[in-house]
Amino acid sequence: MLCEAASQLAIKVVILDPMENCPASNLCHYHMVGSYDDSATVEEFAKRCGVLTVEIEHVDAATLEKLEQQGVDCQPKASTIRIIQDKYLQKVHFSRHAIPLTKFVQIEDLESAKKAGEIFGYPLMIKSKRLAYDGRGNAVAKTEDEISQAVNALGGYARGLYVEKWAPFVKELSVIVARGRDNTVLCYPVVETIHRENICHIVKSPADVSWKTMKLATDVAYKAVSSLEGAGVFAVELFLTSDGQVLLNEVAPRPHNSGHQTIECCFTSQYEQHLRAVVGLPLGDPSMKTPASIMYNILGEDEGEQGFVIANKLIGRALNIPGATVHWYDKPEMRKQRKMGHVTLVGPSMGIVEARLKSMLGEEIEDDQ
Ligand code: ADP
Ligand code: MG
């Protein structure tokens, strides 16, 4: 999607990705096949770029720091990637900047985990510090007896774990924040994200919350991004609690799933905005050009062929719905719970868009039976 936006602005994108037939390989100017976690490869890749940016934070941050010292232009800055890629370090960073968060503490063994459970209560959210995405890296212990099982599911204490106090949220919100090279900061409208088994499933834009909450969420997001260095778009994931507090969950230093709908519903998509920001063009208008939108992630329902059959049915219905745009990523393998594509629905009101989502999911047909 970044490559699609780049082609409109005639910005040439060179990508580094280990997968030969990765989705962007057909859309980019040049695809270097290699690991973004390998120092020599990243250095070699940097030679081809005017500006180096990321679409995933699990890259070799030490090499980016070294390259920056040699004058390579990294946006956002390597320091930002280093902080964000370690979720525990990220929490320490934001708590030092007085951003509201749930309580957290690192754990090294069963004893420290039990102690955290006594203080925070249950359910207890156990998270791996690094290489976490789409819920892979989180495990919940409902009671003290479940700690060991949850820790094992994450690969054991040696992987580097920490725990968070359970956030009793009523809604999850997200704000995409863009910062240009001239330090202009623009925030997208606050959206609501709905997760299924820890994976983002639906994004509603705008979020159905009070103006006060919109302002508070935007303020927290703005403050969080202001504590990080470099240009680009950032996604700030937030929890809204029943007493109206907004707590920061995590930040992504890149275009994000909670901003996919901006392609169809905002004047400037998060992808175009990211490109404008990192290359030093003026930022575009982040406001909505349609009254309402819903983004629906097509998650793999089943492995292999059967998964494709299910996804195809959904896409077939989506193609017949007004205001629906299908994005199929053409990932080479179908896996359960894998993000295979998404559909954005737009319309004149949230009620109408919700009805369109229902019909895309075939729910009225079920109602009729
Ligand atoms: P990921 O990197 O996979 O997005 P997150 O840390 O954002 O991981 O967690 C994924 C989801 O798990 C969140 O969007 C939220 O639904 C739930 N979650 C995460 N942390 C907590 C918490 N402390 N309390 C309750 N739910 C949580
Ligand atoms: Mg998250």
pLDDT at residue 113, rounded to an integer: 95
pLDDT at residue 25, rounded to an integer: 94
**Model ipTM over 0.90:** yes
What is the Cα–Cα distance from 255 to 262, expressed in whole angstroms?
10
- Asked whether residue 366 carries a pLDDT value surpassing 80, the answer given is no
Q: Which tokens sit at 339?
A: 């993000």
- Asked whether residue 367 carries a pLDDT value surpassing 50, the answer given is no
Is the CB of 249 within 6 Å of ligand 1?
A: yes
- Share the mean pLDDT of the chain: 95
Counting from 1 in the atom list of ligand 1, the atom nearest the Cα of 132 is: 2
pLDDT at residue 364, rounded to an integer: 64
pLDDT digits (tens, 9 = 90+) for 123-151: 999 999 998 777 789 999 999 999 999 99
- Asked whether residue 369 carries a pLDDT value surpassing 80, the answer given is no
pLDDT digits (tens, 9 = 90+) for 39-50: 999 999 999 999
Q: Nearest ligand, CA of residue 172?
A: 1
DSSP state of 37: T
Range 215-221 average pLDDT = 98
DSSP state of 23: G
Q: Could you tell me the end-to-end alpha-carbon distance of the chain, in angstroms, rounded to an integer?
A: 39
What is the Cα–Cα distance from 254 to 355, expressed in whole angstroms?
31
What is the Cα–Cα distance from 194 to 70, expressed in whole angstroms?
42
What is the Cα–Cα distance from 243 to 187, expressed in whole angstroms?
24
Is the CB of 284 within 6 Å of ligand 1?
A: no
pTM of the model: 0.95
Q: Taking the CA atoms of 136, 154, 252 and 15 in sequence, report the sign of the dihedral they define.
A: negative
User: Which residue has a Cα nearest atom 11 of ligand 1?
Assistant: 198
If one counts every other C-beta atom within 10 angstroms of the C-beta of residue 305, the result is 9
Q: Are 300 and 335 in contact (CB under 8 A)?
A: yes
Hey, which of 85, 95, 125, 140 would you mutate to test ligand 1's pocket, going by the most ligand atoms within 8 Å of its Cβ?
125
Is the CB of 32 within 6 Å of ligand 1?
A: no
Which amino acid is present at 143? Answer: T
pLDDT digits (tens, 9 = 90+) for 185-199: 999 999 999 998 888
Is the CB of 58 within 6 Å of ligand 1?
A: no
Residue 162: closest CA among 86, 80, 265: 86
Is the CB of 125 within 6 Å of ligand 1?
A: yes
- Asked whether residue 368 carries a pLDDT value surpassing 50, the answer given is no
Judged by average pLDDT, the poorest of 123-127, 239-243, 330-334, 361-365 is: 361-365
- Asked whether residue 301 carries a pLDDT value surpassing 70, the answer given is yes
Instruction: Identify the band that residue 304 occupies on the pLDDT scale cut at 50, 70 and 90.
Output: confident
pLDDT digits (tens, 9 = 90+) for 239-296: 999 999 999 999 999 999 999 999 999 999 999 999 999 999 999 999 999 999 999 9
Distance 132 CA to ligand 2 centre (A): 9
pLDDT at residue 197, rounded to an integer: 84
Is the CB of 237 within 6 Å of ligand 1?
A: yes
Is the CB of 192 within 6 Å of ligand 1?
A: no
What is the Cα–Cα distance from 326 to 342, expressed in whole angstroms?
6
What is the Cα–Cα distance from 198 to 339, expressed in whole angstroms?
13
- Asked whether residue 161 carries a pLDDT value surpassing 70, the answer given is yes
What is the Cα–Cα distance from 215 to 107, expressed in whole angstroms?
35
